[in-house]
Structures are given as structure tokens and as C-alpha cells.
Structure 1
């Protein structure tokens, strides 16, 4: 398989394999197409680190990236300018959930679809064609939903063990770590005021492009989170719908006696949608 380069020569991100091993600089500029000066200064590996940090942590400000990577803000801006020029990142206003504070929302930088593709070369078209075939031959949207639930069930055991082994107040964090191990770059954090609970944030979705056409994938995942955590959960945003992060709100007080009801009704009512 040949490597694909996103953006123009000397500035764009390398293909998926080089991104996944961005701590390694290959020897010899002629074989990689990377100018000698970039190999000497480490510009490309650093630029990859900036993009990777956005993938792992979601849309980020210049200050956040600088602190996270140990760079100056001026250096981060330089790399972001190059990544933006190549269509890998884009600037946008940070979404605010809950009460807005005074002043303009902070500007954050998020990966574009092109930027995400550089990290994860998937078989989106094949998956879409397969799901479309299932829908046409086997019963429409319900057949796709059944497939989505079966797919989640096949992966459920690892997540279930991680959550059940954690203390009740650490279960969202445990789920985030298990999701990260599967490539979702997930984190858990307290929900912004005035809400009481947590937010499960998935900064990467390997099936985002497929879920754009088949939201049943998002809905099945949300149902599973509700069943696993024993409480109604609310999907606030999804990458498939154009948001920078898949965000799920998890109330503080679980309602374990109603797990079954939530898993197929309340959770699915907002799965894959952005009510904001």
C-alpha cells in the first residue's frame, strides 16, 4: 500500500503509517519527499504532534496545545497555520454547553475530515455499501439497527469488565480508558454547571463517515452506554453530525432499577443528535 500525503509537499501530514509512528524520522530526504531542512529541524514530527494532540483531546486552543506539548504559543501558531493551509485543521468557536460566560468564546482548532483521514484509513465505502445492502434486502432501518446492536454486543465484554471492576464514581473514567484502548481517544470530565454529572468525550470515531449515513451506529452505542452504566444517558454531540467531539452526558445518580427501559428507549431518543 502506498503512503498518502495530505496537503502540499514539505508541509502536509504523511500517510497513516507514518502518523502512527510519528516519533520516527526516516533516513534520507529523497526516499520520503521531506526536505532536508525539515528533517534537520524536526518541523514535520512536531507538526504531527500538534495534529495528534488535537485528535486525542478534541478541538483545542493555542494555549492548551502549547501547555500540552511543551511548546511556545508562537511555535504552535506557526504549525497550526501550516496545517490549516493544507486543510488538515480549521479554526472554529468553542461550543459552550450550559451557561455562557461573558466575552467571546475561545477560538479552537479542530481536525477536518481530511485531517482525520490521515490518521485512520478505513474502508468507509465498503461499510456503507454493506449496510445499504442490509437495509434494502433485510428490512430497512430496523435491520441496520439490529446489526449495530450485534456489533456492540460483540465488543461488550471488555468494556463491561472494565466498568464493573471500577468503583461507582470511577465507572465513566473506566469506560473512557477502555474506549481509548480501542482507538476512540476518550476522556471523562465533570459536566459544566448547572448540570450535575459527567461528560464522556470521544475525540475520535473510526466509523464517523459511515455513521453520517447510518445513525443507528450512534444510537446502538448510546443504548449500550446506558445499559452498561445503569442510567439514562444523553448524547449531546457527535463527530458524525459535524461536531468536534462525540459528547455523552451521564447523570451523577444512576437509576439502576430502570436499566432495561433506558437501554432501548430513553437513550435512543437523543443518540447521534445535537440538541444544542
Structure 2
């Protein structure tokens, strides 16, 4: 069976589709050395998860053939080096213009995000604002959970940080996130745990302002 660097069958299918663009179930069966039923079972699983899609092409004789390809959702499986590029660019900016310019860049990003998300917070109770913020952060890959501890107190937990490498190198990025939360929620927000400081997650305590 053809595999890529000892990957599992499912991972090998993804790599084959990535490198070939489109493949039929027959193509995959021949390359993997599996039964057609086994390959179709994997393909059905990927389709139901939204990782692959199919299109039919007519044949000169017989039934149409389904060709499978990856969806945009599947691209998240493959490693990206965006953080490395970002760190390189920030490093160059720091050398050219100083750390103050780097911090200004983070400040401008915070203001841009505030303008983008502030409308979703208008005329909402604090609980609804926290729920909206959690959804925003989840959409951005932070794996958020939140809970209400009392009428005016909440906890928001981020179990993942998509910009962890940047945050580890530039603490001002974390400061800007805290300031952003305070502005969006119009509440007293404190960070009690931080991934960039070695904690298991980023945890925020949120209290209604008096």
C-alpha cells in the first residue's frame, strides 16, 4: 500500500488528493492497494465531515465517474508557516523602526478589530456580549468556553491560541487582546491565566462595571 512517511490511510488519502488535485475512488484504490469498499468508506467519512467534495464526469461508455477533491476546510489539516512569516516581518520592522513601531502595529490591529466587532455588542446585556465574544473568538480558532458564575460575573476560557508564537515573542499582543475585550464588553476584565506565560489556557474574569 502506498503511504506517505508512515501516515495512516486517512492521512495518506488527504495527501494524495492534495498532491493530485482530483482522484476517483478507483485511482485511490489502485494507489492505496485497498478494496473499493474500504476506500469508499473513508471518502464517505470525509464528505460527511466537509473535508472533500465530488463532481461527476461523463464517460464515453458506462456510468459517470466521481472525482474527489479537497475542500477549503481540509486545508486546515496541512501545516502552514504563517506565524514564522509574521515573526520574521515583525523582527524586520523592529530592527528598522524600533519596538515602538511594532507595538503601534498591534494597537492599530486592536482598533481595527474593535471597529469590526463593536456593532455586534450594541444594546446587549453583558451575558449576551460575553456569548458574542466567545463566538467571535471561536470563529478565529481560540476554542473558547464561557460560563456565568453569578448575575454579574463571568469566566471566559481560551484553550488554543492561533498566534501563540507571536504572543510568546511580543507580550503587547496579549495586552491588546485584554484591552479589546474590555472595550467590547464595557466591563472589568482581568486575565488570570495566559498560554504565553506557560499556563494551560488563557482565562479571563469578567465583571459588570458599577
Bin for the TM-score computed over the shorter chain: 0.5 to 0.7
Summarize the Cα distance change of 1:203–1:39 in structure 2 as closer, same or farther, 3 Å threshold: farther
Unaligned segments of structure 2, at least 5 residues? 50-75
Shift of 1:150: 0.7
Unaligned segments of structure 1, at least 5 residues? 19-24, 50-116, 256-276
Whole-Å Cα distance in 2 between the matches of residues 198 and 34 of structure 1? 54
**Do the aligned residues in 2 keep the contact of 1:183 with 1:204 (CA within 8 Å)?**
yes
Q: RMSD over aligned Cα, in angstroms?
A: 3.9
Summarize the Cα distance change of 1:133–1:162 in structure 2 as closer, same or farther, 3 Å threshold: same
Equivalent in the alignment of 2:120: 162
Shift of 1:219: 1.3
- Superposed, 1:8-157 pairs within 5 Å as 8-10=7-9, 12=11, 14=14, 27=25, 28-29=27-28, 36=35, 39=39, 41-42=41-42, 45=45, 118=77, 121-140=80-99, 142-157=100-115
Whole-Å Cα distance in 2 between the matches of residues 197 and 166 of structure 1? 15
Equivalent in the alignment of 1:233: 189
Summarize the Cα distance change of 1:234–1:177 in structure 2 as closer, same or farther, 3 Å threshold: same
Equivalent in the alignment of 2:209: 254
Shift of 1:173: 0.6
Summarize the Cα distance change of 1:41–1:176 in structure 2 as closer, same or farther, 3 Å threshold: same
Shift of 1:180: 2.7
Tell me the TM-score normalized by structure 2.
0.62
Equivalent in the alignment of 2:179: 223
Whole-Å Cα distance in 2 between the matches of residues 31 and 128 of structure 1? 43
Which has a greater percent of strand?
Answer: 2
Summarize the Cα distance change of 1:32–1:136 in structure 2 as closer, same or farther, 3 Å threshold: farther
Whole-Å Cα distance in 1 between the matches of residues 97 and 178 of structure 2? 23
Equivalent in the alignment of 1:197: 153
1:214 maps onto 2:170 in alignment: yes
Whole-Å Cα distance in 2 between the matches of residues 170 and 34 of structure 1? 53
Whole-Å Cα distance in 1 between the matches of residues 193 and 127 of structure 2? 23
Shift of 1:43: 10
Whole-Å Cα distance in 2 between the matches of residues 169 and 159 of structure 1? 16
